């Protein structure tokens, strides 16, 4: 699928050229390196910036067989569920605001336990497969967060987790065309 908007300033970037040349899932560190090289601002993503009041908004920018690129928009206080990425690598670049990431692992009793928390501002984070984490916008009211997410292969399902249960369940993430 071509870029979702002729106004998107990513169209002729080296990053898009890299994504278009993929013929298989790249290594996570390669995808992180490519995303780190990408210079992007809110203005570059303006056709794909759409927020919702109750939940963060996943806006599709580009997708092919090997990769999916989303602009995700978060109002203050919004967060993802605790999740993994099934068989996908995920690289996230913070475009505007501060993203808070909490990582988890299973404890000896099978329940999730928090292992670390990080804050990202104009930074890149990567996770893949069974890595379990949660992304949040913990900034003050009125402080939006915009992140660029690159999944390879496209994220078709993921497992959601709860701190109260030893079990997770698979879901298909919803994506809005922007």
- Locate tokens 């505007």: which residue? 96
State the Cα–Cα distance between residues 108 and 56, nearest whole angstrom.
32
Q: What is the pLDDT of residues 17-74, one digit of tens each?
A: 999 999 999 999 999 999 999 999 999 999 999 999 999 999 999 999 999 999 999 9
State the Cα–Cα distance between residues 29 and 35, nearest whole angstrom.
10
Domains and CATH numbers, the chain: 14-177 (2.60.120.10)
State the Cα–Cα distance between residues 117 and 124, nearest whole angstrom.
15
Q: What is the pLDDT of residues 130-175, one digit of tens each?
A: 899 999 999 999 999 999 999 999 999 889 999 888 878 677 777 7
State the Cα–Cα distance between residues 54 and 92, nearest whole angstrom.
22
Q: Are 176 and 60 within 8 A, CB to CB?
A: yes
pTM: predicted TM-score of the whole model, two decimal places: 0.91
Q: What is the pLDDT of residues 65-115, one digit of tens each?
A: 999 999 999 999 999 999 999 899 999 999 999 999 999 999 999 899 999
φ, ψ of residue 19 in degrees (nearest 5): -60, -40
């Amino acid at each position: 699928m071509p870029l979702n908007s002729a106004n998107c300033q990513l169209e002729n970037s080296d990053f898009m050229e890299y994504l278009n040349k993929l013929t298989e899932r790249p290594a996570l560190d390669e995808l992180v390196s490519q995303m780190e090289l990408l210079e992007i601002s809110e203005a570059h993503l303006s056709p794909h910036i759409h927020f919702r009041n109750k939940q963060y908004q996943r806006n599709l920018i580009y997708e092919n067989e090997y990769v999916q690129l989303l602009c995700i928009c978060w109002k203050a206080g919004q967060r993802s569920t605790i999740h993994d990425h099934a068989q996908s690598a995920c690289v996230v670049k913070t475009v505007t605001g501060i993203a808070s990431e909490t990582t988890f692992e299973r404890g000896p009793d099978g329940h999730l336990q928090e292992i670390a928390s990080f804050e990202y501002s104009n930074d890149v984070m990567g996770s893949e497969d069974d890595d379990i984490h949660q992304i949040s916008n913990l900034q003050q009211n009125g402080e939006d967060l915009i992140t660029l997410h690159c999944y390879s292969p496209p994220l078709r399902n993921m497992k959601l987790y709860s701190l109260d249960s030893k079990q997770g369940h698979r879901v298909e993430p919803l994506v809005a065309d922007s």
